[in-house]
Amino acid sequence: MKRTILCLPLLATALPVAAFDFDARNVHPARITHDLDVPMIPTSSAVDTPPVAASEGETSNFREVWSVLKQKPLAPSEYGRQEVTWDDINELGGAARRTLSEHRDLVADRKNRLRPNGIALNGQWEITEESGFTGAFAKGAKSLVIARASTFSDAVNAGDIRSFGLSLKLYPTADANDAGRYKTANAFLIDNNAGSSARHFTDVELKTEAGFHPEPAMATNPSMIERVLMLRMVQELQQRADSNPEYRQLYPLSELGLSGDALKAAKTPARMMLKAAAGTPKVNAIDFRRELDMRYYPGGLVYEIFIKGDKEDKDWKKVGRIRFIDSVVSRAVDFNLNFPHPRYRK
């Protein structure tokens, strides 16, 4: 049976395709057979663990935060899959305002409304080339980093249409034993809000302004209808909280560790992109969280850092790298780790 679904007018600004034709008997994308001994992960709620106290004020300590995330690691069979529901979308307005006003790195239990399934990584950020920018972008800058890799909704498995994201939290120190508490700088990168059929998380380029670019084959996928509706609603709700939510500026990174006149003179690049370094091994786990398990990368997982000084620049400039060396999947990663969003500056 063939069925045609006409999209509402509000979809016209989100997708170039106004109607989708699909076979109602064949609505699920094919699964890809994995090479590792990893079970198919059923949809379930997160494993129950005690709530974690929020960090003190607007500063945190790298080791303390990582220790909280590692308290009760989950085995792959316990990962679970949390889904984004319309109730989550309805709650997004308040959540968007909180991410702009709440600057804690750890919060009390709270579901991530859009990207509820993630894995935390840690490592070191390093700028090796002259960039012309300040703070974390200055040549020679080194920072400890905690990241959370995620996907939209419950699309965690290869074969799903997955929209990959990576949130970064940088500390103005490179010493993992530093007992100091610092205000962190956070950045947000996505490959494609529409998602992609990429086999690996490490296949995609992650950017601070990803846009919504459906692959041609997605026009026959009925799940795209709901995705477009959700993302359009997300856009409207986020715009009520911030003027330009689709583009996250990088000034928190360019101002990291600066004060006084140096802070006033901070220079910020317009765009950033992260891309897995050439030669990165491909781990054929079905769940992206298992793929990013650092035990499969003995020398660390390296992402190269690219920037554009101006948003109109055509070419990306490579300025450094991030080397991730540890990872964990836990309830705290999904419910307690917080990445404050910067407000848009005109």
In this structure, which amino acid lies at residue 277? A
Containing domain of residue 299, as a range? 46-335
* pLDDT at residue 322 in the model: 98
* Residue 345 placed within a domain: no
* Residue 9 placed within a domain: no
* Residue 31 placed within a domain: no
Give the chain's largest Cα–Cα span. 68
* Residue 56 placed within a domain: yes
In this structure, which amino acid lies at residue 46? A
Per-residue pLDDT tens, the chain, 346 aa: give them.
333 333 333 333 333 333 222 222 232 322 222 334 333 333 333 333 333 444 445 899 999 999 999 999 999 999 988 887 777 777 665 555 565 556 799 998 877 778 899 999 999 999 999 999 999 999 999 999 999 999 988 899 998 889 999 999 999 999 999 999 999 999 999 998 888 899 999 999 999 987 777 777 666 667 666 666 666 666 565 555 455 556 679 999 999 999 999 999 999 999 999 999 999 999 999 999 999 999 999 999 999 999 999 988 999 999 999 999 999 999 999 999 999 878 888 7
* Residue 197 placed within a domain: yes
Query: Which residue's entry shows tokens 């990013």?
Result: 292
* Residue 1 placed within a domain: no
Q: Under a CB-based contact definition with an 8 Å cutoff, are residues 18 and 12 in contact? A: yes
Query: 101: closest CA among 332, 334, 343?
Result: 343
| CA pair distance 187, 64, nearest whole angstrom | 20
Beta bridge partners of 5: 20
Contacts of 85 (CB under 8 A, 6+ apart): none
| Whole-prediction pTM | 0.79
Question: Tokens at residue 106, please?
Answer: 């750890």
* Residue 155 placed within a domain: yes
* Residue 342 placed within a domain: no
Number of structural domains (the chain) is: 1
